[in-house]
Amino acid sequence: MAMISLVLILLVGGVIAALSERLSSNAPRWVALATIALTLGYLLAVMATMDDLQRLQASTPSDPATWLMHFKSPWIPAFGINLEMALDGISLLMVLLTLFLGAVAVSASWTDVDQHQGFFEANLLWTLAGVLGVFMAVDLLLFFVFWEVMLIPMYFMIAIWGHENRAYAAMKFFIFTQASGLLMLVATLGLVAAHREATGVFSFSYFDLLHTPMSETTAHWLMLGFFIAFVVKLPGFPFHTWLPDAHTQAPTAGSVILAGILLKTGAYGLIRFAVPLFPTAAIEFAPIALFLGVAGILYGAVLAFAQTDFKRLVAYSSVSHMGFILLGVYALNELALQGALMQMIAHGFSTAALFMIAGALQERLHSRDMRQMGGLWQAMPRMGAVAMFFVVASLGLPGLGNFVAEFLVLLGVFQVDRWIAVIAALGLITGAVYSLMLMQRAFHGEPNPRFENLQLNDFGAREMFTMAAMIVALVALGLYPQPILDTTQSSVLGLVEWIAQGVAQ
């Protein structure tokens, strides 16, 4: 029940936030923060009472008894559909990341959203509830329900509180993600039908479907359905075109959630479902996935270099960084998978911070065009120093979390295909070029006379506190990543062993 309670707290908190606007304009923000803090506190309290953390030493994908938590209750028994949720080391880290960045998103919306604050914070909390469900659901129909639920409030956040072309961006986001979700549903039904034909039993349980015998052709087509659905959300090349528009037009808090959390649901789906459900098909498909990963790294970097819009540059940099995750997943070894998981966390912090900086600049300058910026460090030294930290973090400076993640991915990929690793390493060079270009255009050089009469307020206490939390997180990941690696190691080793067993059979 603990996992269901996490989702319910956020859902109820969203309703309270919507109603609290009648009290004052600031009440919804405080309600949202309190709800996220309560959810996080409840999760930590449950974990503190568990001796089962020792299970992290022996986690396997197919045995729920080795997971940290497992809950199962009948929902539609006639079709083998249950309210089934589970938590292992991987999903635990994703849940913690979601709640942390959810609080960051509330901070980002503090002055950015000035209309219908209650409904905005409600949509933010409902999006977080859907994401938590995605990370914990192990009944595939329940997973699909949460997958669709998290899209609706995000659509409203972009369509109502977005910028000039918000209607177009929101519709494009919804069409891409909805179509990919329907493709995943078709693949899920095909997998359930294959399981029913082989065993005579209807089941949507992840633990049952892992043991589904099927023909090689069936496995390839079903795997492809899951792969496309998750790569669209990642997003990977060439299914990435919705992302720059959604990021550019979304409010700052929406961009934080999109970049920091929603993109990670695609990566999580690949690790949790697309690979272990079809191990042989995944290995045979791996060369194509590796090619798409390295193409995304270079393509995203080149397009980022060509941007003049601050937010679009950061958005295309996300496409490039997500390519490393795709490489890490389909290298299919421990080092690369650990690197992919580390990249999911480190990218969440660094890119969320960059989008907050972009939002702060737009709020002060009423522009995202870097050609109209310049010399902003003089007027806003705290923002300039913070921006420099997250820019160098994003390009992979040693000692910070992003470097550890990309280094592990490249080490793992090098064991599989040396040339792919070499070409992917070029992404680090191009990343340095566009990251430092962003810093130069926005914060260095001569100030634009256009902004001389504007009162350019530097980061205040709230913004500096939020940034400091993410700075500490990235430094900790870079200097001492071992706790994260230990938390996911058993799940990663179990996945690698599961793939090896599936191929051997």
Could you report the per-residue pLDDT of 8-56, keeping only the tens digit for each? 999 999 999 999 888 887 889 999 999 999 999 999 888 887 765 544 5
3-state helix, strand, coil split of the chain in percent (to 5) is: 75, 5, 20
Residue 504 has pLDDT above 70, yes or no: no
What is the rounded CA–CA span in Å between residue 124 and residue 439? 30
Q: What is the pLDDT, as a whole number, of residue 503?
A: 59
Tens-digit pLDDT profile for residues 277-315: 999 999 999 999 999 999 999 999 889 888 888 888 988
Residue 502 has pLDDT above 70, yes or no: no
Q: What is the pLDDT, as a whole number, of residue 115?
A: 80
Per-residue burial over 37-49, b if 16 or more Cβ lie within 10 Å, else e, is eebbeebeebbee
Share of the chain above pLDDT 90, in %: 43
Q: What is the pLDDT, as a whole number, of residue 406?
A: 92
Q: What is the pLDDT, as a whole number, of residue 432?
A: 84
Q: Residue 133's pLDDT band (boundaries 50, 70, 90)? A: very high
Q: What is the pLDDT, as a whole number, of residue 487?
A: 86
Residue 319 has pLDDT above 80, yes or no: yes
pTM metric for this prediction:
0.92
Q: Residue 3's pLDDT band (boundaries 50, 70, 90)? A: confident
Q: What is the pLDDT, as a whole number, of residue 53?
A: 53
Tens-digit pLDDT profile for residues 391-441: 999 888 899 999 999 999 999 999 998 999 999 988 888 888 888 888 888
Q: What is the pLDDT, as a whole number, of residue 224?
A: 94
CA dihedral for 54, 58, 60, 62, sign (positive or negative): negative
Residue 58 has pLDDT above 60, yes or no: no
Tens-digit pLDDT profile for residues 427-482: 888 888 888 888 888 888 777 777 766 677 888 888 899 999 999 999 999 999 99
What is the rounded CA–CA span in Å between residue 148 and residue 101? 20
Extract the tokens encoding 473: 């997180």
Nearest to 426 by CA among 442, 440, 445, 406: 406
